[in-house]
Amino acid sequence: MPTITCIDDLQRLARRRVPRMFYDYVDSGAWTESTYRANGDDFAAIGLRQRVMVDMSDRRLASEMLGERVSLPLALAPTGLTGMQHADGEILAARAAEAFGVPFTLSTMSICSIEDVAEHTSRPFWFQLYVMRDRDFIGRLIDRAKAAGCSALVLTADLQILGQRHKDIINGLTVPPRPTPRNLLDLATKWRWCLGMARTRRRTFGNLAGHVQDATDLGELAKWTAGQFDPSLSWDDVAWIKERWGGKLVIKGILEPEDAEQAVAAGADAIVVSNHGGRQLDGASSSIRALPAIVAAVGSRCEVHLDGGIRSGQDLLKALALGAKGAYIGRAFLYGLGALGQEGVEECLRIIHKELDTTLALCGLRDIHDVDTRILRPGSYPQPPRTAPRGERP
């Protein structure tokens, strides 16, 4: 077993153990992948201020997100096809999150169903919703999340139209993989993954299978899904979703202050500054660069979370310093899952926790709630605009 020191180590191990099409599904962005790269590069550009000869004892990282106590202000992001990184992946990731005391968010496009995850965990998890053309199905999906005890609904706003990811086209991504010569050759070198998949019954979209009318096999289900993302989704739809749900509502996919204002007006309890991991609009702002303006616009009226680019505890600390109430990791925990299953997700969380704790101390602080821009090197971090966006009142 190789020594694991950081998320990059988990990524290298996952690359060796996960079939190429599913590894590439995670490690890819839209078109030129410029926004995917910017998510990480813009975090790296932010410098920290080291302080010395201050009391660094009795440090506290625990906080709250959406009124829930968390061991550190971090959640596992909703990620599609998690159960294709490792057999029963969503269940294993949810268990790891529960053991560590952070929220887990289940994707609509998960392999394990809402009911599966609820059956195998004891802590309420969050559910992410894609709004599809079939509103009756979406209403029933919301009801299933309520029945399973989910404590928050995360409405994704930035996938009305699917961005193009070249690697998925090149790899011919399907669930399960097509038995092409290239795929069979790749699978022959991934025996751990194949053995795990042979032992599980969960190999399709668990939240959809058996719940979609006239979709009796995997091919029909995939065809139905491809035509269901709704380009007409608007802020008017949030009202009926919020009413049907009746609980905490998070709106994910916000990059502009104008949209943040709309989300708050629509009744969001929290918003997530996110560019879908750089997988939608190539050329959009990185999440961390967009964060300060959105915090300035709505941070006093709802929780602002960040998703995109966090690969370390230092990245998490920088997001908190710029006003995020909490943040999400997607690729980081998926690399852990693909590398080592549940233990890999727990190791990912341990790495981030240790990095956060050490960096907090070296910046001269003991309580995560005291973090602000004082810990950042002047001139290295993005700041909100001095004037309101064009067309908005100052």
Residue 216: predicted pLDDT = 63
On whether the CB atoms of residues 274 and 264 are closer than 8 A, the answer is no
Which of 20-29, 203-212, 351-360 has the lowest average pLDDT? 203-212
To the question of whether residue 156 is assigned a binding role by annotation, the answer is yes
User: Residue 75 pLDDT > 50, yes or no?
Assistant: yes
On average, the pLDDT of the chain sits at 95
Structural domain count, the chain: 1
Residue 179: predicted pLDDT = 81
- Summarised one tens digit per residue, pLDDT across range 155-199 is 999 999 999 999 999 988 877 777 889 889 999 999 999 999 999
To the question of whether residue 73 is assigned a binding role by annotation, the answer is no
- Domain range for 309: 7-369
379, part of any domain:
no
390, part of any domain:
no
To the question of whether residue 139 is assigned a binding role by annotation, the answer is no
82, part of any domain:
yes
Give the list of residues 6+ apart from residue 40 with CB closer than 8 angstroms, or none.
309, 311
381, part of any domain:
no
- Summarised one tens digit per residue, pLDDT across range 124-155 is 999 999 999 999 999 999 999 999 999 999 99
Q: Is the dihedral of CA 79, 80, 86, 87 positive or negative?
A: positive
To the question of whether residue 143 is assigned a binding role by annotation, the answer is no
- Summarised one tens digit per residue, pLDDT across range 289-345 is 999 999 999 999 999 999 999 999 999 999 999 999 999 999 999 999 999 999 999
Q: Which of 264, 320, 300, 263 is CA-nearest to residue 70?
A: 320
To the question of whether residue 274 is assigned a binding role by annotation, the answer is yes
For the annotated catalytic residues, the residue numbers are 276
Cis geometry, peptide bond prior to residue 292 (ω within 30 degrees of 0): no
184, part of any domain:
yes
297, part of any domain:
yes
Q: Is the dihedral of CA 324, 330, 331, 332 positive or negative?
A: positive
142, part of any domain:
yes
Residue 390: predicted pLDDT = 47
Task: Please report which confidence band the pLDDT of residue 214 belongs to, taking 50, 70 and 90 as the band edges.
Answer: confident
CATH number of domain containing 250: 3.20.20.70
Task: Show the tokens assigned to 182.
Answer: 């290239």
Question: What is the C-alpha separation between 10 and 14, in angstroms, rounded?
Answer: 6
16, part of any domain:
yes
Residue 129: predicted pLDDT = 98
To the question of whether residue 391 is assigned a binding role by annotation, the answer is no
To the question of whether residue 381 is assigned a binding role by annotation, the answer is no
